[in-house]
Amino acid sequence: MERLRVMFLCTGNSCRSQMAEGWMRALAADHIEVKSAGIEAHGQNERAISSMAEVGIDISQQQSIRVNGEMLEWADLLITLCDNAEEQCPIMGQQTAKLHLPLPDPAKLKGNEQELADEFAQTRELIRQRVDYVIQQLHQVA
Is 15 catalytic? The answer is: no
From the candidates 78, 82, 127, 131, which is the catalytic residue?
A: 82
Distance separating alpha carbons of residues 88 and 68, to the nearest angstrom:
12
Please say whether the beta carbons of 79 and 7 come within 8 A. yes
Question: Could you give the CA distance from residue 5 to residue 7 in angstroms, rounded to a whole number?
Answer: 7
**Beta bridge partners of residue 100, listed in sequence order:** 80
Which of 6, 7, 9, 10 is catalytic? The answer is: 10
Annotated catalytic, 10?
yes
Annotated catalytic residue within 26, 89, 116, 121: 89
Cα-based distances in Å from 62 to 31, 54, 74, 96, 119 = 19, 17, 18, 23, 21
Cα angle value 53/62/108 (rounded, 5°): 70
- Give the catalytic positions in this structure: 10, 82, 89
